[in-house]
């Protein structure tokens, strides 16, 4: 080969021959190398394992191939890489006489290889940087920076992956903190962030190896339970989460209790897609919050059917308002001393074109959540006015009519103006019934409604409070409103006969009303025994099925003109029901 040279050593491994080509290639002076051993020439660490092996090969007279080492050229100190091969030589008697071999300059190859290795190392470093950047991007894309939980994008990714395996089911828990907004708004965002971080850790500790926790919104978390979770495991985890979140959160200067509600859904393999699973978990969470919060709720076919039904109703409500399908039914209020109808309460019913007549329990909560309750209130006020007008045209004068007013309606600045325009000049006195949620404690919004209540009173409208004694109304709230009449809650009235404790409680409410010069009426009376017991306690006005169910306009007109009060439901002291009619304005 053009760049190869030949060499020989003696039996002591001393160089004894080089071909002239070696001097041309390496620039070493041949005469300076003759008589020297190879291992005194290199510019290397001779304790390197490759040198130890090479010396062992020489000692044992073994042939060798591709032994590489580096040297420094004497004339300029540049680096030279040499690759050698050698064969041991023996005389006729078998005595070792030395080695013969070839040498080859591999400097360019080594430099190219070194550059390649450096390039590969730089490329590997760059790849590592790119890999780290990719991981950081993925972390940013799939991890919530505040809680270090997976985020909504990761949740959607993992849900898709889990549902792609049609051999196993999974569970989904939707967790929502109950009072987080209060913490955030009242104590500030740092306090809110602390609550979120602690909540995330509590969720991770509770769920453990059973699933993965995700933060999917402000104070909302999702938990995916894998490996075909059972109903017992899922509901147990839901209850444990509720208990964990009920523990106080310790802030720098405060200790707060937040609580959480949990919606749970369990799905068999292939039963639901991701959207359906989330909807079912949302529906269960919604039910948990409806039921008072701080609890868990399992999605069931029955619950889902009811939620679906409510959703269909919510879609029907706007059109029903336009078509005036919400109509008033009237439940008479009786003064058992005079035997006369002293008024009535207008109660809403929905004449649904497909489902027939719907009671408030079927749609009222949906209307409230839809934000349509004030519109329904307005429509009932308008249609009740029209009924009263028709009655008065026929000579039927109802003493008073009570109409329920929601908190949203009471907050409407146009309420007083509408009532004045609708009711002005009518002989029937209008009474506004306030739901107990408006006045149940001192922190409620009584003050914000005080101006509306004052203006209504100036217009001659009576103010009544509904469901007093239900457990939510308070005496303080009652005094602040100072109503014209109190309606004693039906849950108290219906237990008077069988409970001395309830009887004493109702007696106390009646006596309080008398002391404050507030009229009172017992609602929900169903039997003669109810009437007799409550009359003995000092109440003379009643509303309930004992006298009449809520009636349509036509039935109520017949009731008023015929005075159909059953004689056996009047007082036992032989006060007979009034036989006269309301016709011609008679009361």
Q: Which two tokens stand for residue 462?
A: 């009576």
Q: Can you give the length of the chain in residues?
A: 587
Strands 249-250, 356-358: pairing kind: unpaired
Q: Which of 25-39, 423-437, 547-561 has the lowest mean pLDDT?
A: 423-437
**pLDDT for the residue numbered 349:** 97
- Give φ, ψ of 489 to 5 degrees: -60, 140
Pairing type for strands 220-225 and 249-250 reads unpaired
What digits encode the pLDDT tens for the residues 198-248? 999 999 999 999 999 999 999 999 999 987 889 999 999 999 999 999 999
Confidence tier at 58 by pLDDT (50, 70, 90)? very high
430 Cβ contact list (under 8 Å, min separation 6)? 400, 401, 403, 419, 423, 460, 461, 462
Q: What is the average per-residue pLDDT within 140-146? A: 89
Residue 583 pLDDT grade (very low, low, confident, very high; cuts 50, 70, 90): very low
Mean pLDDT computed over 544-559: 93
Residue 566 above 50 pLDDT?
Answer: no
Mean pLDDT, all residues of the chain: 86
Measured distance CA(134)–CA(247) in Å, rounded: 39
In this structure, are strands 296-298 and 260-267 parallel, antiparallel, or unpaired?
A: parallel
Examine the pLDDT at 134 and tell me if it is beyond 60: yes
Nearest to 509 by CA among 483, 533, 538: 538
Q: Catalytic: 467?
A: no
pLDDT grade, residue 157 (50/70/90)?
A: very high
560 or 471, greater pLDDT: 560
Residue 299 predicted with pLDDT over 50:
yes
What was the pLDDT predicted at 443? 43
DSSP output for 442-472 = TTSTHHHHHHHHHHHHHTT-EEEEEEETSSS
* Orientation angle between helical segments 373-393 and 301-322, nearest 10 degrees: 50
Q: Does position 345 have pLDDT exceeding 60, yes or no?
A: yes
Q: Residue 341: name the closest of 507, 95, 570 by CA.
A: 570
Assign 3-class secondary structure to 488-526: ECHHHHCCCCCCHHHHHHHHHHHHHHHHCCCEEEEECCC
What six digits make up the tokens of 188?
A: 């500030």
Residue 541: closest CA among 494, 486, 498 = 486
Residue 480 CB-half CA count within 13 A: 19
What CA–CA distances, in Å, run from 375 to 123, 417, 465? 70, 15, 21
Summarised one tens digit per residue, pLDDT across range 73-118 is 888 888 889 999 999 999 999 999 999 999 999 999 988 988 999 9
Nearest to 429 by CA among 468, 465, 466, 388: 388
Is the pLDDT assigned to residue 469 strictly greater than 90? no
Q: Look at residue 267 and tell me whether its pLDDT is greater than 50.
A: yes
Annotated active-site residue in 178, 219, 377, 530: 219
Percent of the chain with pLDDT over 70: 91
- 464 pLDDT more than 50: yes
Confidence of residue 422 (pLDDT cuts 50, 70, 90): confident
Q: How far apart are CA 364 and CA 376, in angstroms?
A: 9
In terms of Cα–Cα distance, which of 146, 247, 244 is closest to 197? 146
How far is Cα 425 from Cα 276, in angstroms, rounded to an integer?
A: 56
- Residue 567 contacts residue 329 (beta carbons within 8 Å): no
C-alpha 575/C-alpha 578 separation (Å) is 9
What pLDDT score was predicted for residue 184?
87
- Most distant CA atoms of the chain, gap in Å: 155
Checking 524-532 for CB contacts under 8 A at 24+ apart, the result is 524/489, 524/490, 524/491, 524/493, 524/494, 525/493, 525/494, 526/494, 527/497, 528/568, 528/569, 529/497, 530/493, 530/494, 530/496, 530/497, 531/336, 531/569, 532/571, 532/572
Give the predicted TM-score (pTM) of the model. 0.62
**What does the pLDDT read at residue 585?**
33
Provide the percentage of residues in the chain whose pLDDT is more than 90: 51
- What whole-number distance in Å separates Cα of residue 287 and Cα of residue 155? 23
Tokens (6 digits) for 259:
């609580």
Task: Check: CB of residue 225 under 8 Å from CB of residue 135.
Answer: no
Return the SS3 of 543.
strand
Assess contact for 228 and 166: CB atoms under 8 A. Answer: no
Buried b (16+ CB within 10 A) or exposed e, 252-284: eeeebebbbbbbbbbbeeeebeeeebbbbbbbb
Interval 124-135 mean pLDDT:
88
For 51, the 3-state DSSP assignment is: helix
* pLDDT confidence band for 441 (50 / 70 / 90): very low
439 and 479 Cβ atoms separated by less than 8 Å:
no
Across the strands, what pairs with 80? Answer: 71
Q: Using CA atoms, how far apart are residues 158 and 152, in angstroms rounded to an integer? A: 10
């Amino acid at each position: 080969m053009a760049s190869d040279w030949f060499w020989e050593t003696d039996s002591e491994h001393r160089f004894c021959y080089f071909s002239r080509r070696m001097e041309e290639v390496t620039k070493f002076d041949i005469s300076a190398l003759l008589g020297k051993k190879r291992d005194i020439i290199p510019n290397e660490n001779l304790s390197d394992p490759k040198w130890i092996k090479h010396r062992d090969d020489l000692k044992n007279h073994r042939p060798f191939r591709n032994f590489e080492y580096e040297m420094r050229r004497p004339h300029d100190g540049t680096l030279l890489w040499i690759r050698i091969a050698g064969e041991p030589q023996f005389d006729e008697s078998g005595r070792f006489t030395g080695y013969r071999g070839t040498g080859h300059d591999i400097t360019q190859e080594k430099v190219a290889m070194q550059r390649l290795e450096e390039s590969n190392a730089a490329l590997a470093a760059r790849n590592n940087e790119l890999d780290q950047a990719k991981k950081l991007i993925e972390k940013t894309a799939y991890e919530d920076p505040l809680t270090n939980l997976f985020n909504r994008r990761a949740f959607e990714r993992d849900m898709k992956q889990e549902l792609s395996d049609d051999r196993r089911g999974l569970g989904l828990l939707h967790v929502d903190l109950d009072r987080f907004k209060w913490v955030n708004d009242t104590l500030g965002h740092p306090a809110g962030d602390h609550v979120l971080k602690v909540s995330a850790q509590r969720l991770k500790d509770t769920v453990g190896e059973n699933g993965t926790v995700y933060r999917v919104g402000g104070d909302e978390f999702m938990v995916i339970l894998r490996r075909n979770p059972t109903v017992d495991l899922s509901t147990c985890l839901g209850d444990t989460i509720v208990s964990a979140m009920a523990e106080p959160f310790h802030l720098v200067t405060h200790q707060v209790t937040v609580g959480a509600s949990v919606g749970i859904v369990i799905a068999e393999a292939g039963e639901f897609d991701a959207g359906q699973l989330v909807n079912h978990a949302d529906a269960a969470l919604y039910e948990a919050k409806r039921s008072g919060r701080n609890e868990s709720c399992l999605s069931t076919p029955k619950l889902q059917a009811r939620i679906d039904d409510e959703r269909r109703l919510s879609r029907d409500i706007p059109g029903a308002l336009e078509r005036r399908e919400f109509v008033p039914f009237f439940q008479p209020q009786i003064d058992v001393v005079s035997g006369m109808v002293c008024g009535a309460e207008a109660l809403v019913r929905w004449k649904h074109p497909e489902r027939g007549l719907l009671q408030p329990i079927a749609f009222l909560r949906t209307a409230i959540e839809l934000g349509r309750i004030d519109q329904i209130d307005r429509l009932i006020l308008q249609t009740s006015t029209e009924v009263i007008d028709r009655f008065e045209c026929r000579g039927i004068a109802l003493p008073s009519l009570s109409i329920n007013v929601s908190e949203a309606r009471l907050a409407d600045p146009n309420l007083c103006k509408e009532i004045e325009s609708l009711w002005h000049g009518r002989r029937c006195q209008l009474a506004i019934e306030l739901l107990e949620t408006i006045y149940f404690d001192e922190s409620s919004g009584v003050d914000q409604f005080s101006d509306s209540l004052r203006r209504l009173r100036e217009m001659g409208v009576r103010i009544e409070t509904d469901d007093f004694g239900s457990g939510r109304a308070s005496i303080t709230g009652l005094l602040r409103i100072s109503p014209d009449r109190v309606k004693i809650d039906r849950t108290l009235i219906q237990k008077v006969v069988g409970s001395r404790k309830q009887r004493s409680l109702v007696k106390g409410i009646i006596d309080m009303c008398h002391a404050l010069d507030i009229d009172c009426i017992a609602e929900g009376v169903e039997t003669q025994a109810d009437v007799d017991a409550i009359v003995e306690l000092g109440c003379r006005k009643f509303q309930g099925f004992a006298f009449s169910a809520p009636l349509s306009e036509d039935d109520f007109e017949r009731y008023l003109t015929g005075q159909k009060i059953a004689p056996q439901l009047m007082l036992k002291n032989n006060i007979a029901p009034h036989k006269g009619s309301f016709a011609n304005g008679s009361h």
